[in-house]
């Protein structure tokens, strides 16, 4: 079983912000597997799919970004997910805009949602798929930037990055080795 979690904020006003790229990528995972977010459990909106007979849980925490770890911890406990079966999708200010970067483990960097996940789980030993948002031409505080709407001129690039991130997550859930997925999808 795999748990794929897209980090974001649940209110509609945040839907097209940089901080919701994890939510958008999780939506792309669900779309590619032909499922919808129909359940609410563990403080998350959840979709269930099957890949090769194995269950895959796709989740969007409803706890808001900075408390994402609370929902992830509940989902991990409920579904008895090992660290090898967890994939987290999220935006990353430390990467150039619309770049996708996959890592098997690591720190939270500047991301408060990931800080919450790592703090609640007690480790950072799980796969993460990051979607870069840094634009060197924008010079505003990070908190204002991540909650800003994605400019219309950049939306297609971010939509494509979310689809690539979703494809990578599905490959991991199919059992592809992370090194191969990194080689294929890291920009």
Write the pLDDT tens digit of every residue in 59-112: 999 999 999 999 999 999 999 999 999 999 999 999 999 999 999 999 998 899
Q: 77, 122 in Cβ contact below 8 A?
A: no
Averaged pLDDT of the chain: 96
7, 20, 81, 153 from 17: Cα distances, Å: 12, 5, 29, 14
Would the pLDDT of 9 be above 70? yes
Tell me: the pLDDT tens digits for 131-158? 999 998 888 999 999 999 999 999 999 9
CA 64, 124, 169, 138: dihedral to nearest 10 degrees?
60
Q: How far apart are the first and last CA of the chain?
A: 27
The predicted model scores a pTM of 0.96
66, 68, 98, 125 from 117: Cα distances, Å: 9, 6, 23, 11
pLDDT of residue 138: 87
Tell me: the pLDDT tens digits for 156-171? 999 999 999 999 999 9
Active site residues: 19
CA 106 centroid distance within chain: 15
Tell me: the pLDDT tens digits for 37-53? 999 999 999 999 999 99
Query: For residue 65, what is the DSSP state?
Result: G
């Amino acid at each position: 079983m795999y748990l794929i979690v897209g980090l974001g904020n649940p209110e509609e006003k945040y839907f097209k912000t940089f901080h919701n790229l994890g939510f958008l990528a999780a939506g792309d995972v669900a779309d590619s597997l032909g499922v919808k977010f129909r359940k609410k459990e563990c403080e998350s909106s959840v979709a269930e799919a099957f890949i090769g007979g194995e269950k895959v849980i796709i989740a969007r925490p409803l706890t808001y970004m900075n408390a994402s770890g609370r929902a992830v911890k509940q989902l991990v406990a409920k579904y008895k997910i090992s660290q090898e079966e967890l994939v987290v999708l999220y935006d990353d200010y430390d990467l150039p805009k619309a770049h996708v970067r996959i890592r098997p483990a690591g720190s939270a960097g500047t991301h408060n949602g990931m800080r919450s996940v790592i703090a609640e789980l007690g480790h950072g030993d799980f796969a993460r798929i990051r979607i870069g948002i840094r634009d060197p031409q924008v010079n505003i505080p990070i908190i204002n930037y991540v909650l800003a709407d994605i400019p219309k001129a950049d939306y297609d690039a971010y939509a494509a990055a979310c689809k690539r991130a979703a494809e990578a997550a599905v490959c991991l859930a199919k059992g592809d080795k992370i090194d191969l997925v990194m080689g294929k999808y890291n920009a």
